[in-house]
Amino acid sequence: MSERAETDAARGIPLAGASKSADGRRQCWAQMRMALAADRAHWHRRGHGSARLYRGYHAVWLYRLSRYSHERGWRMAAWLLWLVNGWWTGSDIPPSSRIAGGLFLPYPFGAVIAGAVGRDAAFGVQASIGGLLKEPDQDIGGGPGLPLLGDGVVLEAGAIVLGAVRIGDRARLGPRTTILKDVEPGETVMPQPWRALPGRGAAA
Amino acid sequence: MTGAVVNTDPHGPTGYAEVRRLLSADFARVLRQTTGGKPTSRLRRLMHLTLPAMQVAIFHRVAHLLHGHGWRRCAAAVSNLSLRLTGASLHPGSPIGPGLFVPHPARIVFCGSAGIDLVLLPGTLVGPRDWVFPGAPFPADAPRLGDNAVVGAHAAVQGAVTVGAGATIGIGVCSLRDVPAGTVTMVAQRQIRSRSDVPEGGDAV
């Protein structure tokens, strides 16, 4: 594998003409295998045991197979794998979304990942990315109207990124935040603090 | 937290008698909520056992019993089954006092300790900041909810937070700090409203 292809594979960028030649097909498969190895490495770094036992890894594994089928042009297989993923793990990761290696998804139940995600991303409980309910007006690389996440982005529990939005590298999106605008690299977003309802309770 | 006697027990319920006591309290709570204390027929009372609120309670009490006995993998399996059947994922190690009421268990993720008469509304996230698997031991930095706590729809209580007795976490509130007893929390709803007669192509948000 050439150096260019290796870099692209690590970033999850599909190889041009992956299904045209036998060499391209082999590279496409090798890219998927590398991405899965990076996923397992991320699970291992987080201090959990064998990733293969967890349903979150099953979700990522099924997504990668579905993605491979999508790149090869096997649309029915990609759709079936996506369906199996939804039934078995409860997550909705369409094969058209582009996710680089090292995705950590501990709780796949209810996770929706539509868009492009960089390397070593971590999605907390019910964290999801996707588009808004409107006509997609721009495509910044994640698909029409879908977000583009950098490397090492951490989405804590319930964080939601919506629309064609760029999230910088190593950004941290706090619990239950809704991101509709760009986030700088290394930035941390925290949710709005609560306040007590006046006239009720001891703290009012 | 006066009713937190159950919570201080680190090993959970030690026997079937304790589980039966907790479950009968849950059943009484569900009956009280649904019938308003009016007398009902035996068949109708029996029907309440099939409500999702009772299913969640039964699954969690069984899983908690297994977890207390050290059968953590079996407890995780029961918790997983509960997740598949009801949609609520309660960590099997979380000590919840009698009178648990989960009317609509969809999308609930709970890992914390609670006193008596806890109410969980749909979409609540209660747990430490980092994710713990149901098979893992109960974390030390889990939230502690007092008696009569109500966690509203789509609310989140994250980290080592103490929620006082009788506190209500409002809709969509994310609480990362302590909530005093009896407080009703809320977030300012900043909404941008505009007329819908924008031209075609404008944001219809």
Predicted confidence (pLDDT) per residue in A187-197, tens digit: 999 998 998 88
Q: Which residues of A touch B177 (CB under 8 A)?
A: 193
Interchain CB contact of A47 with B (< 8 Å):
no
- For A54-90, write each residue's pLDDT tens digit: 999 999 999 999 999 998 889 999 999 999 999 999 9
Q: How far apart are alpha carbons A23 and A100 in whole angstroms?
A: 21
Q: What is the mean pLDDT of residues A177-189?
A: 94
Report the greatest alpha carbon distance in chain B.
Answer: 67
Reading across the β-sheet that carries B119-120, which strands appear in turn? B119-120, B150-151, B168-169
Amino acid, res. B142: A
Interchain CB contact of A190 with B (< 8 Å):
yes
Please name the residue of chain A whose CA is at the shortest distance from the CA of residue B167: A201
If one compares A10 and A105, the residue with the highest pLDDT of the two is A105
Cα atoms found within 13 Å of the Cα of residue B67, Cβ hemisphere only: 29
Nearest CB to B184: which of A106, A110, A200? A200
Of B47, B24, B43, nearest to B34 by C-alpha is: B47
Residue A18 pLDDT class (50, 70, 90 cuts): low
Of B144, B150, B143, nearest to B183 by C-alpha is: B150
- Given a cut of 70, the residues of chain B with pLDDT beneath it are 1-14, 191, 195-205
Q: How far apart are alpha carbons B205 and B198 in whole angstroms?
A: 11
If one compares B33 and A8, the residue with the highest pLDDT of the two is B33
pLDDT of residue A49: 81
CA end-to-end distance (rounded Å), chain B: 44
Cα–Cα distances in Å, from B3 out to B20, B97, B160? 18, 8, 20
Decide if pLDDT at A53 tops 60.
Answer: yes
- For A130-171, write each residue's pLDDT tens digit: 999 888 888 898 889 999 999 999 999 999 999 999 999 999
Please name the residue of chain B whose CA is at the shortest distance from the CA of residue A127: B125
Residue A48 pLDDT class (50, 70, 90 cuts): confident
Q: ∠ CA B150-B152-B156 to the nearest 5 degrees?
A: 105
Q: Please give, rounded to a whole number of angstroms, the shortest distance from the CA of A149 to a CA of chain B.
A: 20
A·B CB contacts under 8 A: 102
pLDDT of residue A200: 62
What fold is seen in the domain B16-187?
UDP N-Acetylglucosamine Acyltransferase; domain 1 (2.160.10)
pLDDT of residue B3: 40
- For B50-103, write each residue's pLDDT tens digit: 999 999 999 999 999 999 999 999 999 999 999 999 999 999 999 999 999 999
pLDDT of residue A43: 94
H or E element: which one contains A26? helix A22-45
Residues of B with CB under 8 A from a CB of A: 83, 89, 107, 109, 125, 127, 129, 131, 133, 154, 156, 158, 164, 166-167, 169-170, 172-177, 179-188, 201, 203-205
Predicted-assembly ipTM surpassing the 0.85 threshold: no
Query: Are A175 and B156 inside 8 Å of each other by CB?
Result: yes
Nearest CB to A176: which of B156, B166, B182? B156
